Amino acid sequence: MLLRLGRCGVANKLLTRVARSAYSTRIPFHRETVKVSIGGSGHVDLEIQARISDTESRPSVLLQLPAGSRLEAPADPQEAPPDNARLRNLHSAIITIHYRLSSPLPLTATAALDHRFPMPVHDVHTSFAYLTSTILPGLFPYALEEPRIDVAGSSIGGALATTLALTEPNALNSVTITDALVDWCMLDEHAGIVEEAPPGNYLRGQRKKAPPSVDPEAIQTAARALIAARTRLFPTPSSFFDPFASPMLFLRAPGRDTPRTHAEALGLVTSSQEAEPEPHDTIAYGPYNDDHDPTRVPSIDSLADSMSNMTLQQQQNRRRRKVIRRWPPIGVPEDVMLPRFQIFSRPPRNDTDGHGWLLHKQATDLADYLRRACFCGREKGFAEDRGFTDIHIFEASSRLTTLGVGINVQPSAVLILRNLGLLPTLLSTGIQTKELNFYDRHGNPILSEPRGLSAGYTIPQFSIHRGELQQLLRSAVEDRLGKDTIHLNHAFTSYTQDANSVTAHFTQRSTGELATDHPSITGDILIAADGINSHARKLHYPTEGPPRFSGRILWRGCIELPNPYLTGASMIWDGHANQKFIAYPISARSASEGKSLVNWIAELRVRDESDPDLTPPPPADWTRSVPKETFQEPFRKWRCGGLRMMEDLIEPTGKVYEFPMCDRDPVERWSFGRMTLLGDAAHAMYPIGSNGASQAILDAECLAACLVEHTSGAGDVDVEAALTTYQTRRLPPTAAIVMANRGNGPDQVLQLAHERAPEGFDDIYSVVPKDELEAVGSVYKKIAGFEMEKVNARAAETVGEERRWFGADKANGEVDGHANGQVEGRARHVNGTPA
């Protein structure tokens, strides 16, 4: 996979042709230097050392990128000694790319000036393309698998190795970099030339890890020395603001606009002065180097003098947030995976080692941004590394039973399940909803609304058996977090907290005695998802009382029909607010047998609308089975969508369950220090518009994102801030849904038709205009957060995110690369800690 191939710009046919046969002679040890032509501008030497056998096993290749021109003599990394250890293995090679800036000449030499950026980038990428297309197949002609390529580099070579890893990710197994200069733009902040740009949204609120203490003046001096080197290495600022030269910029924005000239970059002229662009050589050494001799590096003193004339204020208008950039970028195929990264840097040697401090900062920043920006890779990235793995789930019931009824989940929530890698199981279990058909009580069609993929969403809407959904979530939890994560027979009773932790207490519901596994447990966060009768909520709202009864009761059942009805994936919504019937199929297994497992709900008003009593009727146990006689009669003659409600659905159903339709008034607060509410505990709503569970899933995703956002680079989580952010983001929209559902939500189309034509109609649009009908659904989608554009955009942004759950097994290669004598052994995950 090659991103931005055009940047490398040299077609293979222009390359020096190396006869394949030269490599097919099987000699145990092979040493050769190959010249690779780079366009018309010169060539690069590839130094090859290899041990070759005629086995079919997978070859192993180490690609070395030398440190390059010395940027500052005393603190520069030592060139790593050749990694001969690898050559003890047959079928392996070490290949050094001597890109044309790789000789350790001082930067003052004219030779270095002739090899300025982007030349080193072209050299490395062109050589790599030639290597993989021509040289390696010739070296290992019998290998059945493509060689495993590890790349190592330091200083400028380290930056080039990083660029290679981020633009040719799937071609590499690992990358090891030492003291790499991956961000040329940050130097100005440390040289006192521009004020440090604020972090992007994603990084705000993080506590910064204290950098090793080094004299600020030493840092400034070192930064200015590197800036002087920069003016020699890059003809214009746009060439070091290019991610190919400063690969950190693949992961985040630079924090300011790209200056047009070096003088402007240093604040010596402002962009408003509209300075006439100068020829490259003059610009590079211009205003602070009087004689314009390109072989002379401007002295640090002259640079400092020039800089003292500008003010930080001058730069303010060019400051931008250092917004994080997603990697891989949107639109890149899903199978792109980040190679394993090892990042090494020495901490500063003493309190005057400004150069060491700058390189160390670049290393820790790179590790941090790789963790945050990379959505998929063999290193997985993101939240898993954040220590949120010691998770326990406590359930009051002593066994998990599966109610034989269904649930419908909106695309916005299915997207989250997709990103958790659960879509394949959902596809093989549930039914992708195709349409939602509304009828009046006489069976006259009101509106047929396409749903999920049929409506143009890129993510399906699902109807699924509750028990099966619960089971697939439970399996995922047990697979990923461990079998002993879920603790049954633990009823939450109370909690205490202090500045550092929260402790929850549990009893056994049946006996009231202390729970056996965990009578209490102490942790960082307590999330109360204990439903509409939440005990945690009651602790904070003791006078709230029982849920608020709508005056209507729902009876639910499930029955397998011998044939599918309508499309086999249609939902039926029939009637009006006081008498309603809903039916939809929920089982892929049943559909595969040509049948249809149909979930149905019959709803009736049982208490007068004017009755001020809002307490729900007994029994408290809403999951008990009830006789059908209590509700079936009013539905005897109802028919729609090819179904007879009484004969086809109610009568043949075995068990029927009763639910008083209740909700709760929105509250002002869900989060209390380290405890927060989630799902029905936070925002119980009428079961209208297939939303309660969908919103609980959205809550969970939001909460997880808030925890990641409020985690510092050092891994410390500001729990209270995270829970407050979660509340700020989720409370207002869910409160709006609670209120919208009291106004019938999307079912308002039924109510409109019923109120305007209670005895039926011939033409629905003469009763309710088309626009008015369709507006009900679109307004509700907006309130409930599942507008198509929004869901599809988010789906595109997060393509491939589910791969993090499947990438771990691919992360096991050996790396025996050598960098500064410090790396040996197994590759580790992205490593911000210097070795």
Ligand X SMILES: Cc1cc2nc3c(=O)[nH]c(=O)nc-3n(C[C@H](O)[C@H](O)[C@H](O)COP(=O)(O)OP(=O)(O)OC[C@H]3O[C@@H](n4cnc5c(N)ncnc54)[C@H](O)[C@@H]3O)c2cc1C
Give the residue with the Cβ less far from ligand X, 344 or 492: 492
Q: Which stretch binds ligand X (CB under 6 A): 373-381, 449-457, 641-649, 693-701?
A: 693-701
Distances (CA, A) of 439 to 216, 744, 747: 74, 15, 11
Q: Are 247 and 365 in contact (CB under 8 A)?
A: no
> What's CA 360's distance to the chain center, in Å?
27
Q: Which stretch binds ligand X (CB under 6 A): 35-43, 390-398, 438-446, 768-776?
A: 390-398
* CB of residue 665 to ligand X, shortest distance in Å: 16
* CB of residue 807 to ligand X, shortest distance in Å: 29
* CB of residue 463 to ligand X, shortest distance in Å: 8
Q: Which stretch binds ligand X (CB under 6 A): 116-124, 686-694, 738-746, 766-774?
A: 686-694
> What is the spatial distance between Cα 646 and Cα 635, in angstroms, rounded to a whole number?
6
Q: Which of 14, 304, 323, 529 binds ligand X (CB under 6 A)?
A: 529
Give the residue with the Cβ less far from ligand X, 148 or 474: 474
Record the tokens describing residue 37, joined without a space. 């032509």
Give the residue with the Cβ less far from ligand X, 407 or 572: 407
Residue length of the chain: 835
* All residues at 6 or more sequence positions from 440 whose CB lies less than 8 Å from its CB, including other chains: 446, 574, 575, 576, 750, 753, 754, 757, 760, 761
Q: Which of 126, 489, 691, 744 binds ligand X (CB under 6 A)?
A: 691
Record the tokens describing residue 637, joined without a space. 């003659």
Taking CB under 6 A as the criterion, which residues in 556-595 touch ligand X? 556
Q: How many CB atoms lie within 10 A of CB 769?
A: 12
* CB of residue 786 to ligand X, shortest distance in Å: 11
753 binds ligand X (CB under 6 A): no
Taking CB under 6 A as the criterion, which residues in 786-815 touch ligand X? none
Q: For residue 583, what is the DSSP state?
A: E
* Phi and psi, residue 765, nearest 5°: -70, -20
693 binds ligand X (CB under 6 A): yes
Taking CB under 6 A as the criterion, which residues in 88-127 touch ligand X? none
Give the residue with the Cβ less far from ligand X, 342 or 694: 694
The DSSP element (H or E) to which 64 belongs, if any, is strand 60-65
Secondary structure class of 487 (helix, strand, coil): strand
> What is the spatial distance between Cα 804 and Cα 807, in angstroms, rounded to a whole number?
5
> What is the spatial distance between Cα 442 and Cα 14, in angstroms, rounded to a whole number?
77
Give the residue with the Cβ less far from ligand X, 622 or 761: 622
* CB of residue 396 to ligand X, shortest distance in Å: 4
Written in H, E and C, the secondary structure of 509-550 is CCCCCECCCCCEEEECCEEECCCCCCHHHHHHCCCCCCCEEE
Q: Which of 183, 365, 530, 747 binds ligand X (CB under 6 A)?
A: 530
Give the residue with the Cβ less far from ligand X, 348 or 689: 689
> What is the spatial distance between Cα 541 and Cα 537, in angstroms, rounded to a whole number?
6
> What is the spatial distance between Cα 131 and Cα 65, in angstroms, rounded to a whole number?
14
> What's CA 17's distance to the chain center, in Å?
43
| Distance in Å from the first CA to the final CA of the chain | 31
* All residues at 6 or more sequence positions from 138 whose CB lies less than 8 Å from its CB, including other chains: 18, 20, 21, 22, 23, 24
* CB of residue 648 to ligand X, shortest distance in Å: 20
* CB of residue 466 to ligand X, shortest distance in Å: 8
Give the residue with the Cβ less far from ligand X, 411 or 800: 411
* CB of residue 710 to ligand X, shortest distance in Å: 23
Taking CB under 6 A as the criterion, which residues in 472-501 touch ligand X? 491-492
* CB of residue 414 to ligand X, shortest distance in Å: 11
Q: List the one residue out of 454, 453, 462, 449 whose CA is nearest residue 406.
A: 462
Give the residue with the Cβ less far from ligand X, 122 or 537: 537
Q: Which of 432, 444, 690, 724 binds ligand X (CB under 6 A)?
A: 690
Give the residue with the Cβ less far from ligand X, 596 or 694: 694
Taking CB under 6 A as the criterion, which residues in 198-237 touch ligand X? none
Burial class of 481 by CB neighbour count within 10 A (0 to 12, 13 to 18, 19+): middle
* All residues at 6 or more sequence positions from 467 whose CB lies less than 8 Å from its CB, including other chains: 401, 402, 403, 404
Taking CB under 6 A as the criterion, which residues in 396-415 touch ligand X? 396-397, 407-409
Pairing of strands 462-465, 431-432: antiparallel
Give the residue with the Cβ less far from ligand X, 59 or 551: 551
Give the residue with the Cβ less far from ligand X, 251 or 491: 491
* CB of residue 522 to ligand X, shortest distance in Å: 17
468 binds ligand X (CB under 6 A): no
* CB of residue 8 to ligand X, shortest distance in Å: 50
Taking CB under 6 A as the criterion, which residues in 531-560 touch ligand X? 531, 535, 554, 556
What is the gyration radius of the CA atoms in the chain, in angstroms?
A: 33
* CB of residue 397 to ligand X, shortest distance in Å: 5
Q: For residue 448, what is the DSSP state?
A: E
680 binds ligand X (CB under 6 A): yes
* CB of residue 637 to ligand X, shortest distance in Å: 24
Give the residue with the Cβ less far from ligand X, 197 or 685: 685
Q: Which stretch binds ligand X (CB under 6 A): 389-397, 722-730, 738-746, 761-769?
A: 389-397
* CB of residue 390 to ligand X, shortest distance in Å: 19
* CB of residue 585 to ligand X, shortest distance in Å: 13
The DSSP element (H or E) to which 159 belongs, if any, is helix 156-167
Give the residue with the Cβ less far from ligand X, 245 or 554: 554
Give the residue with the Cβ less far from ligand X, 508 or 712: 508
Q: Are 440 and 750 in contact (CB under 8 A)?
A: yes
Q: Which of 696, 753, 784, 827 binds ligand X (CB under 6 A)?
A: 696
Give the residue with the Cβ less far from ligand X, 386 or 474: 474
Taking CB under 6 A as the criterion, which residues in 619-678 touch ligand X? 659
> What's CA 722's distance to the chain center, in Å?
17
Cis peptide before 118 (omega within 30 of 0): yes
679 binds ligand X (CB under 6 A): yes
**Count of residues of this chain found to bind ligand X when the rule CB under 6 A is applied:** 26
Pairing of strands 502-507, 491-497: antiparallel
Distances (CA, A) of 667 to 533, 684, 685, 735, 740: 14, 11, 13, 8, 16
* CB of residue 262 to ligand X, shortest distance in Å: 58
Question: In the complex, which residues of this chain contact ligand X (CB under 6 A)?
Answer: 394-397, 407-409, 491-492, 529-531, 535, 554, 556, 659, 679-681, 687, 690-694, 696
